[in-house]
Amino acid sequence: MTQQANKNCEAEIENSKLCGPTVTGQVVRVTLVLLFMSLQCLAADRSVIGTSRGDEMLAEYFRTQTAKLSEQCLAEVKTLEDWETKRQVYRKQLFEMLGLEPLPKKTDLKPVITGKVEHEEFTVENIHYQSMPGLYVTGNLYIPKGLEKPAPTILYVCGHGAVKKNNISYGNKVRYQHHAAWFARHGYVCFTIDTLQLGEIEGIHHGTYRYKMWWWNSRGYTPAGVEAWNCMRALDYLQTRKEVDISRVGVTGRSGGGAYSWWIAALDDRIKTAVPVAGVTDLQNHVVDGCVEGHCDCMYLLNTYRWDYPIVAALMAPRPLLISNSDKDTIFPLDGVIRLHEKVRKIYRLYDAEKNLGLHITEGPHKDTQELRIHAFVWFNRFLKGENPLIDKPAVPFFEPEQLKVFDELPADQINTRIHESFVPKAPQPSVPQSADKWAKQRKAWMKALREKSFRGWPRRAQAGPLDIERLFSVKRGGIHFSAFDFTSQSHVRLRLYLAHRAGLDKPRMVTLNVLDEQGWTEWLAAMRVGFADELSDSATGGLPEPDKNAFQRYQEMFKNNKDTLAYLAPRGIGPTAWNTGERKRTQIRRRFMLLGQTIDGMRVWDVRRAIQTLRTLDLAREVPMALEGKGPMAGIVLYASLFEPDISKVDLWHLPDSHRDGPAFLNVLRYLDVPQAVAMAAERSQIRLYQEDDSGWRFPRAVAEKLGWPDNRFQIQGKCLK
């Protein structure tokens, strides 16, 4: 299933072919029998989670987290007054989650008509405009001939249907020209615009899907925001055209275009009616059933406020909305579409406008079928023209790609290919506070942003639940006292904490929590299995690594004269809870977290926090100074955990990135602060030692420490002590 879904998303060329002769007469309504049968089409192979302990834990986690968001979705709306109050909040949140808060400045569109194509019934103008300076949008404006007054208008946004010849992109507007031609032949102006990735200038939709640009999450960027913005500016352009009746504008598109139809209809009241086709379903389909694997990043908002998708559709109410889908669509399954429609219908009922909400289901796969088109045509005739004529002409293409091409030569000043670098502004470099009061104010603002914008997906304190600590074993061997405890990080996330210290040590001088990445876990396990293979037998997916006797001997020597207790944690997805090891599957797992308004890195920060809380309950670690340690990918995880737990004496970090551009990835964090600012906040609370040779990225925390008179040892960089 997932391979086919991915194929559908990558290129819908075959899916966009014409589907035979036109069907006349009324559109056949879906029967309850068809709906019931269609629900059975969800195949068991939707799951992308394996069968290890970690995989099973993760699958249950995704199920329960998704169910929680689904239950919360619109549940607080009981009256129209409730909804009208929430609607303004939701719309503002949607702008923010698309990277449109604050809204970019509406600069001169600089529209240019580069050519015209004539048909006996209509004219096509090949147009480009700049939705912001250098961000070019290419499109075709279809204008019926003989217009005597402004006409109803359709904004058509295209799905993934690349058209390329000799490595030249003609835009997906060429693939979907038959839709626009039908509208133009029936009295509509239709503006068909290319998308960022599949336009004549080819940008990127696949940052997290293909290119591991996880910093998109940290920046608060999604290409869905660019598509929504380009649509808003398309409406701005249409307002300037004398042929357009701006009071009668509808939007439609299928697949990717269906999704963009949702965004613009929810954001902009100039859209009077919408027909998104095969463009949205609910979180259960995307997260639990695995449909995320069939979609690139342009399909998703950055889910800071942890929405389920019916909220997007509900923002269209009470304007006319037709939800259109086929019954065997593998990447927009029918069951999710029906669940979404049911929740949205409740909002339309509050307006007594249920007649304005339609659900249209046809037989077929994820394909641009004629049946789907016809009902869209009927809907627009009804709500934009007040007519219901017989649909007696098919939607057919008339032009070669070359005729609809806008650019002879691509503009040198285009920013389409790098818009992800600038579309969402990142926080400016902060100035060093000149007083303790100003520093306290700045720190408070940063911490508030982290809680509300980056770590909103953490369990609330009242919902965190008990740690439910269970001692698994406690043994003494080779001069080392070794023990392990299981604890609950959050519902369905059960982790293991290991403790080691000198045999006979009653009260440690300090407890140091080491947070292990995959490499660190493997190396630690190889050493400790020399003395404790039986105790560690169930801790490694796929068996224990080869024993490292030299490393174990180094541990023995260290503990002989050491009065510290060392604790070891592998956060979720590492060690005992490791999940699917396939690189592609891991990418999709990370994207699932994003859809839930989380990141895997952000939830690992939570795991470290819960491990610290677990240690504080143990007699051995109670009322003992605590230190944290992280290397490589875990250094940033440890740093942020230290900001949220009290009484951390020392934090040792090896090879900490100096920007979230390089990790860890937390939602929206770069819109507010970067790693050096987090280091400064941590250094106010704890002794921070960075182990790395290059200190050029750490001027800010050093300057803050000097300005505010913190002790010299509060922030140190030890470049010669690398491990």
Q: What is the mean pLDDT of each run of 10 residues along the chain (723 residues)?
A: 41 36 30 31 43 89 98 97 97 98 97 98 98 98 97 97 95 98 98 97 97 97 98 98 98 97 98 96 98 96 98 98 97 98 98 98 96 96 96 96 98 98 96 97 98 97 89 96 97 96 93 97 96 90 88 95 95 94 93 98 98 95 94 95 97 97 97 98 97 92 96 86 39
Question: Strand locations in 239-365, DSSP E?
Answer: 244-254, 273-277, 321-326, 357-362
The phi and psi torsions of 467 (rounded to 5 degrees) equal: -70, -30
Cα separation, 405 vs 367, in Å, equals 25
DSSP label at 425?
P
- From the list 363, 285, 296, the residue with the least C-alpha distance to 331 is 285
Please give the pLDDT value at position 8.
42
3-state secondary structure 360-402: EEECCCCCCCHHHHHHHHHHHHHHHHCCCCCCCCCCCCCCCHH
The terminus-to-terminus CA distance of the chain in angstroms comes to 45
Token code pair at residue 706: 């000097």
Cβ atoms of 396 and 20 within 8 Å: the answer is no
Q: Which residues contact 44 (CB under 8 A, 6 or more apart)?
A: none
Domain ranges of the chain: 2-387+400-421, 449-717
Rounding to the nearest 10 degrees, give the CA dihedral for residues 39, 40, 44, 46: -30
- Taking CA atoms, 489 is separated from 468, 603, 614, in Å, by 9, 9, 9
Task: Write down the CATH number for the domain with range 449-717.
Answer: 3.40.50.1820
- In CATH, which of 3.30.830.10, 3.90.1150.10, 3.40.50.1820, 3.20.20.70 is domain 2-387+400-421? 3.40.50.1820
Please give the pLDDT value at position 694.
86
Please give the pLDDT value at position 17.
37
Please give the pLDDT value at position 288.
98
Q: Which residues contact 130 (CB under 8 A, 6 or more apart)?
A: 107, 108, 109, 110, 136, 137
Please give the pLDDT value at position 695.
87
Please give the pLDDT value at position 50.
60
Check the CA dihedral 625-630-635-640 and report its sign: negative
Cα separation, 716 vs 511, in Å, equals 21
Please give the pLDDT value at position 49.
52
Question: CB atoms < 10 A from the CB of 649, how many?
Answer: 15
Q: Do domains 2-387+400-421 and 449-717 have the same CATH topology?
A: yes
- From the list 493, 497, 472, 453, the residue with the least C-alpha distance to 660 is 453
